[in-house]
Structure 1
Amino acid sequence: MSVPTVEKDGFEKVIGTGKPALIEFGAAWCSPCRMLNPVLEELQEEFGSEVSVAKVNVDASPELASAFGVMSMPTVLLFHRGEAVEKLIGLRPKKAYQELVATAVLG
């Protein structure tokens, strides 16, 4: 299952669902972002019922990137109750994202 790409309206819906949301800020031309795609898909399958996973294309939504201080790609933010609570900058091993999500889900 592919991870949805959202713009402003879709973004607001994803972070406003009441469950944690893992959002990747990237671009189609960004090699590390493309390398992260399969990891995001795996996380979506693994935690999909407990965490929303989505992507924001910074070229299509520069205002969202600016609002959250995204300066490098990929940047992954974890939202809880509509607020950004964690930020990972750059490509990380899958385990780093799993731990981030597990922390959000467990407490």
Structure 2
Amino acid sequence: MRQLMKSFMVACAILVGVTGAAFADTKHTEFTADVLAKVEKSGDPYLLDFYASWCSTCRTQDKVLGQLQAENNKYLDVTILRVDWDDPKSKPLIQKLKIPRRSTLVMFKGTTELGRVVAQTSKSKIRDLLELGL
């Protein structure tokens, strides 16, 4: 039994290494109108992350954001607000900002949009977007 458990643990470690599941978790805040109003008033940079739990591109973007945050603490200064694509409460914001699809990332300072990426998973493109806010 002990050998079986040890083999299982080794297999899991290999699988994590192969699939990239070892990325750091992205530090984010769930979107609400109140939270958005607060970050808008602060004047600090923030990223709106339009995601859906079933979206593979969204999951990849999340992994990239987590990687960037783990590699450089300055990216932790950018508040990431997750906007659930499927939540009816998100629809007014999606319409107002003309968000074309889930897996859209939009960088803001205050109420000023600084840039956006749509369905991009490139680490350099996401890093460049974050840099716009810093």
Alignment RMSD, CA only?
A: 1.8
* SS of equivalent residue, structure 2 residue 29: coil
TM-score, reference length from structure 2: 0.67
Higher mean alpha-carbon deviation, 70-79 vs 2-11, is at 2-11
TM-score, reference length from structure 1: 0.82
Which is higher, the Rg of structure 1 or of structure 2? 2
The within-5 A match list for 1:36-75 is: 36-45=61-70, 46=72, 47-49=75-77, 51-60=78-87, 61-75=90-104
* Structure 2: gaps of 5 or more residues: 1-24
What fraction of aligned residue pairs are identical, expressed as a percent?
A: 25
The within-5 A match list for 1:1-107 is: 1=25, 2-45=27-70, 46=72, 47-49=75-77, 51-60=78-87, 61-105=90-134
Task: Please state which structure has a larger fraction of its residues in helix.
Answer: 2
After superposition, the C-alpha distances for 1:27-50 in whole angstroms (9 at most, x for unaligned) are 11211111211222234443113x
* SS of equivalent residue, structure 2 residue 31: coil
* Structure 1: gaps of 5 or more residues: none
